[in-house]
Structure 1
Amino acid sequence: MALDFVGIDPNSSDGESPTVWVDKEHKELVFQGWKPSPELEAECAALELPGHGAGIPEGEAVVRIPARMVHMIREACDALERP
């Protein structure tokens, strides 16, 4: 698997590096972000929506990405849609 680097949080300090990549082979966005607080994770896990039962399934995670990285996420989405 080859990931294409899109960007890293410009406000990152040593040891903190929310990052965005594109996996073109699998047509996926890949994020590295901060772990949520236990309260936020519990709130996400408690949501029951159509097609989304309560809980966080094994193999999934809640990840926080700063809003200042929205342009990188858009760039990653555009990269996946290009032929």
Structure 2
Amino acid sequence: MNLNEKSQANVEYMIEQIKTKLRMATGAAMQASAFSVNQYDDIYDLYDMVMNKQNLSISEVEAVVSELGQLRGNH
């Protein structure tokens, strides 16, 4: 997958990967299609940070979920 290309498919892929990594119990409520390619750079930064961490603390998970909620609401 070429994540350098700003596409809706890549946005949805990154959201799904973040949800999987965080083992989000509320993942079903966070539909990847609810995110816009207009927020690609923000989503990519979040994806990159999450994927490069071995483990995330509870506060980090909460921060990521909060950020995703804000991004979802701004599209």
TM-score calculated relative to the size of structure 2: 0.30
Structure in which a larger fraction of residues adopt helix: 2
> Which structure features the higher share of strand residues?
1
Q: Which has the higher contact order (CA 8 A, sep 6+)?
A: 2
